[in-house]
Structure 1
Amino acid sequence: MSNSIRRSSPASWAPGRLGSKSSGADAGGSSRCRCSRKTAKMTRNFVQNNLVKLGCAAAALVLFASAWAEPQEWRINIQDGGLLEFVQQVAEITDKDIVVDPRVRQANNVTVVSNTALDREGVFELFLSVLRVHGYTLSRAGDVYTVVQNTVGKQMGGGIESDSAAPDEIITEVIGVNHILATDVVKTLRPLIPQYAHIAALESANVVIISDHAHNIRRLLTIIEQTDLPGTEIIIVVPLEHAWAGTVARLLQELAPASLGSAAQGPTSVQIVANEGNNTLVLRGKEKPLRRVEAIIRQLDQPDTASGGTQVIQLDHADATEVAEMLNALASATPGTNDEPAPSVHAYESLNAVVARGDPSFVNDLRGIISQLDAPRGQVLIEVAVVEVSADANNSLGIELAAGDPTGASTPLITTTLNGIIGELLTRLASSDEAINPAIAAAAAGSPTLALTRLDPDKVSFGAIVNALAVDANADLLSTPSVLTLDNEEAQITVGQEVPIVTGAFTTTSDGASNPFTTVSRKDVGIDLSVTPHIHGQSLRLELVQEVSNVVDTALEGFTDIVTNKRKLTNTILVDDRQTIVLGGLIQDDQRNTLRKVPVLGDIPVAGALFRSSTNVRIKRHLLFFLRPTIQRTPQDLSDITDAKYDGILDLRVDAAEAPQNAEGLFQGR
């Protein structure tokens, strides 16, 4: 490493030995000189020598003072020097307080070649250039300078005056623009600044803020001054009083599609955007063509000579009839004038559209309301599982006796239960049915049975059966329906049948004429579930009405028509999305007692038990409803649930090899 920092001045001074030469005679030193002569000569030489020395000393003082009075200059030449050492030398030369950030790394490749003498300011500017080359800069806070990285220099709070700053010093400049947009300036100048610099636009004040080296900011400032000239693009807002902004914008675009419209481009183009919310037009372009378009708009914005503005607004999601009813209630509060009738709204169901008629400003207000009402609604898939849990107690106790002669009669001689098991056996025997297996016949009763028989086709046969039964049942899955409905719309699930019920009959008239007829009405019997979902974020409020009805097996005493049982539950619950809930409490208790006996003999105390059989049946049914609501917000949600249901169908198919891969395949080729 070779470093050389030399100070040079216009006048140099080097002290030397001063003296004078002696003459030849004096140098010879003649002995012929007398003592007095020698003494006079020595005196004269002493005086002359002292005068010469005083003159030389005075000249040296003059030269020394002139040297320090001139400005000091340095020649800096460094070969692979250290950055931190260079910072220290510059601080000594410029007499400035310089702090080095800890993130600044030592660099041993600082090279400076200079053949020109520099003053203190020149050395300082050279120092800034060296820092910038190595990725560093100076941040100033008062009289203290800090060496930092370029990437953080813009955040250290440098000065905001570019005129007095050194070219390589990072500063922040606020540049105001008058005729162009600050955002457009930022887009244009961003490629011209380094990565460590910063440029942003403050739209509210239409100014550009740049943090960069001073020399680059001066260059960007020159570019802005040359482009921020009158005649560039401007933006104006044109309010409309009578015409509708959307209609005027479409009309102007149809007149000149290439030069007018929201996507128009070119030096004479004018971009037009309709703001239907406040019925205004936003224009952007050069001032001269923009003013021409503004004049056309003023001519189009004239009062309607017809009875009022009429617009057809088509709906995408909402129901036209419901929207029209709501808007008519709103329009009824706005009376008409002498020149304009009262506003009105009508629904056109074929196109699902509403026709609004009235003052254009009021109709435009209606359009804003309709756009908010015509929003897509979520859907809810409601899956239901109806389970009936029954506890049956079937207690049977009795004895069946029978005897018969197949050769004498086709029926048994005596039996306690003609329709019982033992009676069936003897009846088959009497008909010469040899394929009789008493064990199989007894098993047909489906209950524990003790049987004692003697079956002989040629002789008298007899039998005795002791029957004892106690049966318990379990749960039964009655139905698993599912339904898809819109938010706030009622969905109804009905699983059952229609039962005819006689409501009236007529046989004869008062004069004896016969014209009989019967009036019959039908009633739904089965499971009926009505659900109205209300979506609240990720939860739902469900309004439920569930009803279960069935026909009584045996008619009640005093009733000639059928009798139905009905169980109904109405409630409102709050559940989360895809949360399974259970609703129950519908309990039905049926009891039936049956007594079979031989007349007279069955009533004998004690011994009558041999001639009678009793059955007590008690059935308690508990109905449970399992519900799982699922919110469907996107078409993909519907596709997923459809595929899941389709996969369940494939599980029930015997030959699933030829089945389509998904639900969409069901409709291909059909």
Structure 2
Amino acid sequence: MVNIKSPAPMPMSAIVSMISDMTDMNIMATEQVAKVLVIANARNLPAMDVLNHIAAIYDFRIIKEEDGTVLIVTAHECQTMRNCDELIRVYSPVNVQSSALMEMVKDHLSETGTVSINEATNQVIVSDREDILDRLEYTITSVDQMLTTAVFETNEITSQEAGALLSSIVQSPGSIQTDTAGRFITVTDTPKNIERVRKALDELDKPVDLVTEIFPLRHASCDEVGYTIQELFRDTGISRDRTHGGAAFSPQPTGQGEAINALTPPGVRDNIAAQPGIDGGGTAERSGMRAFALGRRGSVVIDTRNNAIIVTAEEAWIERLRDIITAMDMEREPFSYTFSFAELETLDLEEKLALLLNTRGESYHIDKENNKVSLFTTPQRAAIALDLFQQWDKAPSQIIIEAKLLSVSDNTFKNLGLDFKAQHERVRPYTPSVITREGGIKLAPPIAAGSPITELSIGSFATSDYNLLIRAIATDSKTRIITEPRIATLNRKQATFSDARQEPYTVVTVDGQTNTVLEDVRFLDVGVTLEVLPEVNDYDDIKLDIMLKLSHLVEFRNNYPVVDTTLAQATSRTPHGRPVLLGGLQLRRSLKQHSGIPVLKDIPLLGGLFRNYEGDKTDRQLILIVTPYIEDDQRREEDALLMDITEMEASMMKNSIESNNKKLPL
């Protein structure tokens, strides 16, 4: 499977190289194809699907060799190559326009075939294999006949129903039209197809015997069942409102007798009237009954007085409706499900249950406090709902958050060609955005404005070189690890790490009445606090909400502590195992160390001869590396393999950095 994301155009040669590396396919592209700039984005798609999609957009041709090699060429190159047996043939229709044949010809072409038209000369130019061109010639000749028009009248079915059934016979550029009254159908096509339509219509438009069946309901409401039947068959054109003498389903009782008489065939009215509780007389005797049309001659009567459904239709429709009514007329029972893992706020249950349950006769209650859902429905629908609940109620993914807070020398970044910090004169006025130096790796802007030399930036790299880069920085001899937590948490659960110490200080107060001095010892937490909230989506990408707080005690002023605090908040999205880096906090320190011969180095005046001073004025930066992992056995094996592969490469990069450090003057 292929995963490619190219937000900007890149040479086709680069796309071919990436697909070859991902699939081990032998893919070759000609020089003309290789230099074409293309944009390709694919997620978990077969390689050939991606290549075919690119070829269709950029008019390439794909040739598969016998040894499995895939060759990509231009359309012109395909015509001149020896192993491409495509031919060009020109068709000149007489009775139809070339533009009308365009779509039909495209449906017959192979993957490498092309078609174009010349409207001025009414010609169709096709390039493809010889066998396909021969079939196209027969098809175009069949279509290129003098078209005729015939009008047919339907008796038993509507013209709309006939048109839907006959549309597969009529071929372009022919057409089929129906009237609004539903009685006439107009067909324009070749004489041969007109005759095929006539024979098919004779078979479809035959008189059918209607059957009437009464369905007494024990549990469901007849209004509920009738409404459902009407909605089910409305989209298919079977259930509809009649504009000529019929009536639609309506909750209003007025005119019910006339509606039933209009919707029910004459030969069936007496049969309905003979049923218990149904009188064939006028409107008064039809109180509590409503009806709507089913097909051209059938009907559905809703008997609210007896809670029954009366169906008049063909036997086949009776069978279908019997299954529907039986499924709906089942006793409703209470059911409940308590979610063990999933949080109801994240499932959108209201919308999903509204689609699953029939709100006219079924109900549900969502108890978010107890993480419980109660249903009142049929056992069949309850089984479906409970099965869905079990699928949604899966244990949340366990996430491992590995973090490293490092103090890194500026020389290390310079040796690697990186620059995370922003200089004062390179910060745009009145804006917190940071501009990295030319050639540096661009990271996202800081979350909030601060001192120009105390900005935090966040970035994510997509290549495996980034993992090597992080390892090289972390293992550099001048890099100091401030803290290195590893925290286990669950999906959508915040992980918190605190490496803080309590600094005591005393607050002195004097009681004004007794002059008593009161001392209150308090403690101040200073150090490092890291909070990470992971959220895994359906594609196993991990969204990270990161909060880093650094604080240290500067001094005491008037017996009150002065604390220097840096707070950074950022949001990033990264796949499993890919680090996210926050960097750019500049630390400027001047450290002096002295060493020498014990005792002798401390002799006044002469001790300087036995002492050695070393100074370290190298600026340093703090960077935070956060790497999320989704815990499972398969990923654990893949991570171990990746670590073995990159360890040696990281060691080589580290040696290169240390070699460069030795060449720099102190």
TM-score by length of 1: 0.31
Is the radius of gyration larger for structure 1 or structure 2? Answer: 1
TM-score of the aligned structures, taking structure 2 as reference length: 0.31
